[in-house]
Amino acid sequence: MNDMDPGGCPASTRLVGRDGDLSFIQSFFGNSEVQGAALLLSGEAGVGKTAVLDAVAAGAARGGARVLRAAGVQFEADIS
């Protein structure tokens, strides 16, 4: 038996309460292959943005997509 969730994530990494978010992002990227698009995922610190993106990126990579990652840092205004 293969213990995977509908999004293709192993049960041990399943995100609770995020099925709707994952489905939306997966369909968004599926549609963007035709026209191109950008998606902004925002929210308060600690709400799980990175976990959602990790799950989507892992699924896309398993599907053969090239996944590029970048990270930003908070601007340091006190630098002189």
Ordered per-residue pLDDT tens for the chain, 80 residues: 344 454 555 544 678 889 999 999 888 887 777 787 888 888 999 999 999 989 988 988 898 888 888 877 777 666 66
Give domain status of residue 41, yes or no.
yes
Give domain status of residue 80, yes or no.
no
**Surface-to-core class of residue 37, CB atoms within 10 Å of its CB (0-12 exposed, 13-18 middle, 19+ buried):** exposed
As a whole number of angstroms, the distance between CA 41 and CA 11 comes to: 24
Q: What is the pTM of this model?
A: 0.65
- In angstroms and rounded to an integer, the radius of gyration of the C-alpha atoms of the chain is 15
Quote the number of domains for the chain. 1
Give domain status of residue 34, yes or no.
yes
Print the domain residue range for 4: 1-9+19-66
How many helices and strands in the chain, by DSSP H and E? 2, 0
